[in-house]
Copies of this chain bind each other. A is one copy, B any other.
């Protein structure tokens, strides 16, 4: 994997993030002030503030004008943001495995509104059971236009689909998500090893390329019990 050139703001972001996660900066404590950090990293204040802004978005710190920038305690961390579950975990070095439940080709039908395609246009339709560190974690159910992914086959499904889309030359731009509370039915309860009737999240994703083409529609059901987030006034 080629290492991307890092911008200064990203390098500072990562360094400060490590210092927070490693406990070098203590929760509720103040970080060094901006002028000190500017000198340490040899950057202008604008660049430093970009890095700090990124930390704020992650819920790692918050600032108060006139007082300082403070490290948040871990329960504020936005590590459980609304991103793709698989991606999040792969990034943390955990094993993600997939079992293909089915793989078929179907006409676009009712989904023509989402894909802006004729109702006869063929879609690849698959479903997977996904395991995190060996335990069932998520069931997905996805549709992708065949004309965009000619060489997509059952083998492909074992890896990350976002990576696959990028190897096809598409750049993922947006992911429109809709989160709904549902109750687990027989089928889902079985696949996720939970009790029938358990309330869980279902998240639908509509994934767009930079050309505003819909690359994928996927509905994910995970056995996550809660989403934590933070808002700062």
Contact = CB atoms under 8 A, between A and B. Distances in A.
Interface of A: 28, 46, 62, 64, 67, 72, 75-76, 82-83, 171-183, 197, 199-201, 210, 212, 225-233
A231 B199 contact: no
B199 A76 contact: no
A227 B62 contact: no
Query: Per DSSP, are chain A's interface residues mostly helix, strand or loop, or mixed?
Result: strand
Contacts of A180: 199, 225-227
A28 B231 contact: no
Smallest CB-CB A-B distances: 7 pairs: A181-B181, A181-B199, A179-B227, A180-B226, A175-B231, A172-B233, A177-B229
A188 to B, nearest CB: 12
6 contacts: A28-B212, A83-B231, A175-B233, A177-B231, A178-B226, A181-B200
A182 B179 contact: no
B230 A176 contact: yes
Contacts of A174: 62, 72, 76, 230-233
Contacts of A176: 75-76, 228, 230
A231 B82 contact: yes
A64 B210 contact: yes
A197 B179 contact: no
Contacts of A64: 173, 210
A232 B231 CA distance: 19
A200 B180 CA distance: 8
Contacts of A227: 178-180
A229 B176 CA distance: 6
